[in-house]
């Protein structure tokens, strides 16, 4: 029997994704990780030496130097995916451009935090849920954002040839990784620390959550730079 050559080619592309070093610009990744390690070190050292970590050095503070660096990385990755869509016409590239731009805008404008507070207040979640009302409001906004992105994802899958999917699989996985830190760990932050009441718990969770986000953003940018630029 003669093998389906198109299936063979797709299988080869999927296998090539398993060799991860080939999927990242290692020099770019090393530079980004070095900068991010500096942000984490400044956060930890200032936390150990000062009564309060300065806002600019606090990696958990919106608008800090580390956060702005992340905004730049996500904006750059979104722009490169947009250019890849314009160059190659692959609809999934447009989908990921929209996803990355949405992530950047939500993070930089604090959309889910601000609108989540509005939802909690308008629906009167405070009287029903107490301290958890803030998280519940933010969850509503996260779900709304996900519903906004869903049609883009469906269109990307439908209108992108299957042969093109392997080259975009790793980027999807990295975005899921970013979401796990940004949303999943964020929701565990306060409940876990309040349950165990360790004095260093919040600091540790800041490093896990925001450090994980920084790592995810570094991997996304280095991958997009290598494969889609």
Query: pLDDT tens digit string along 134-178?
Result: 777 788 888 999 999 999 999 999 999 988 887 788 999 999 999
Q: Would you state the pLDDT for residue 150?
A: 95
Q: What is the residue range of 195's domain?
A: 23-227
Per-residue pLDDT band for 196 (boundaries 50, 70, 90) equals low
Residue 10 forms part of a structural domain: no
Residue 15 forms part of a structural domain: no
How large is the average pLDDT for residues 33-60? 94
Exposed/middle/buried for 196, CB within 10 Å: 0-12, 13-18, 19+?
Answer: exposed
The Cα–Cα gap between 137 and 139 comes to: 5
Residue 172 forms part of a structural domain: yes
Query: Is 74 a residue whose pLDDT tops 50?
Result: yes
Residue 27 forms part of a structural domain: yes
Residue 179 forms part of a structural domain: yes
Residue 116 forms part of a structural domain: yes
Are the C-beta atoms of residues 220 and 73 closer than 8 Å to each other? yes
pTM listed for this prediction = 0.86
5-45 pLDDT per residue, tens = 555 555 555 555 555 668 899 999 999 999 999 999 999 99
Total domains in the fold of the chain: 1
């Amino acid at each position: 029997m003669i093998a389906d050559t198109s299936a063979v080619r797709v299988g080869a592309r999927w296998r090539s994704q398993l060799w991860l070093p080939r999927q990242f610009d290692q020099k770019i990744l090393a530079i980004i990780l070095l900068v991010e390690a500096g942000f984490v070190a400044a956060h930890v050292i200032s936390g150990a030496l000062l009564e309060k970590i300065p806002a600019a050095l606090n990696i958990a503070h919106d608008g800090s130097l580390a956060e702005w660096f992340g905004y730049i990385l996500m904006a750059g990755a979104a722009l490169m995916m947009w250019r890849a869509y314009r160059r190659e016409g692959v609809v999934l590239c447009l989908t990921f451009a929209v996803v990355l731009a949405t992530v950047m805008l939500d993070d930089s404008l604090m959309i889910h935090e601000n609108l989540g507070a509005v939802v909690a207040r308008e629906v009167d979640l405070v009287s029903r849920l107490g301290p958890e009302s803030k998280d519940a409001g933010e969850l509503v906004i996260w779900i709304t954002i996900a519903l906004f992105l869903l049609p883009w994802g469906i269109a990307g899958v439908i209108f992108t040839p299957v042969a093109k999917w392997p080259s975009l699989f790793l980027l999807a996985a990295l975005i899921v990784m970013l979401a796990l830190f940004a949303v999943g760990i964020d929701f565990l932050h306060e409940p876990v620390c309040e349950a165990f009441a360790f004095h260093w718990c919040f600091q540790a969770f800041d490093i896990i959550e925001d450090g994980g986000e920084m790592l995810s953003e570094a991997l996304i940018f280095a991958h997009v730079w290598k494969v889609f630029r």
